[in-house]
Amino acid sequence: GVMEKLGLGPKVLLQENPRLIYARLTGFGQTGKYASSAGHDINYLALSGVLSKLGRKDENPYAPVNLLADFAGGGVMCALGIVTALYERTTSGKGQIIDASMVEGVAYLSSFLWKSQNLGLWNRPRGENLLDSGAPFYETYKTSDGKFMAVGAIEPQFYEQLIKGLGLDSNKLPNQLSFSDWPTMKKKFASIFAQKTQAEWCSIFDGTDACVTPVLSFDDVASHQHNKQRSSFIKNDQEEISPRPAPLLSRTPAVPSFKRDPFIGEHTEEILLEYGFTKQEITKLYSDKVIEFSKPKANL
């Protein structure tokens, strides 16, 4: 209702421009019991059902930072909605309102979990399934130098290469999908991974299809050979590292800026003046807390 209070709600604006696409991105959506309630990523994740699937055995469910509901279920799904509405407008000539709920966005994002329930992937308690840290071949393991390796050797041919790299004989081990043996196998794999450094394990598994890769820190990610070869990370003029825009388009790739990130509100006044607002109007918007500034020297 904030935009309505400013006289900028979709009903007003769509009357002025029927081609307008108006995206409303909220946690709980525009209607429903929680529509006007405060919340954060963890709350939206909880209401979507997805949080109940995240976490290890015998531990509380945990939210993976705020990536899933905020950015994936919210931002990315909303952006996809905008693109879809833009495409639809090419045939209808009409705009529309997008009700992007983070709860519904992350629930829809997790359709795989819903649709694969009868495949045997999720029929065990949390933390005991194939992809939720239950399987010894889909897990992270600590190395002798305190770093980690990520293992995702699901397919039999990949699992065989994992076993080979670990110096084990598959003929002397339980069947890969023997659930009852998974806890013992995890302990065995953990004890072996703990005997070498991350770099040593990389020298063993790099170039194989064992699906074993290093868990890179933010400090190491830009210098990894694969990421360097693709220029996956960029450095700005303040020597700050960040991911290059993705996905990479062949004909019109994004051209990233190498300047520092702007402060929130740094260019607010400049842009409003450029669009014809007067100093007085800008001052009023600022005093009404509609806009904010963040400059070393305020111009007001």
Catalytic annotation, residues: 40, 70
**Taking the CA atoms of the chain, what radius of gyration do you get in angstroms?**
25
Gap between the Cα atoms of 146 and 198, Å rounded:
8
| Closest among 36, 119, 102, 24 to 63, alpha carbons compared | 102
DSSP 8-class letter at 201 = H
Gap between the Cα atoms of 170 and 163, Å rounded:
7
Gap between the Cα atoms of 300 and 298, Å rounded:
6
Gap between the Cα atoms of 242 and 221, Å rounded:
10
Gap between the Cα atoms of 231 and 222, Å rounded:
8
Residue 149 β-bridge partners: 141, 214
Gap between the Cα atoms of 48 and 61, Å rounded:
13
Gap between the Cα atoms of 224 and 149, Å rounded:
14
Residue reference for tokens 């302990």: 187
Q: Are 243 and 256 in contact (CB under 8 A)?
A: no
Residues 6 or more apart in contact with residue 193 via CB below 8 angstroms: 141, 142, 143, 149, 166, 201
Gap between the Cα atoms of 130 and 124, Å rounded:
9
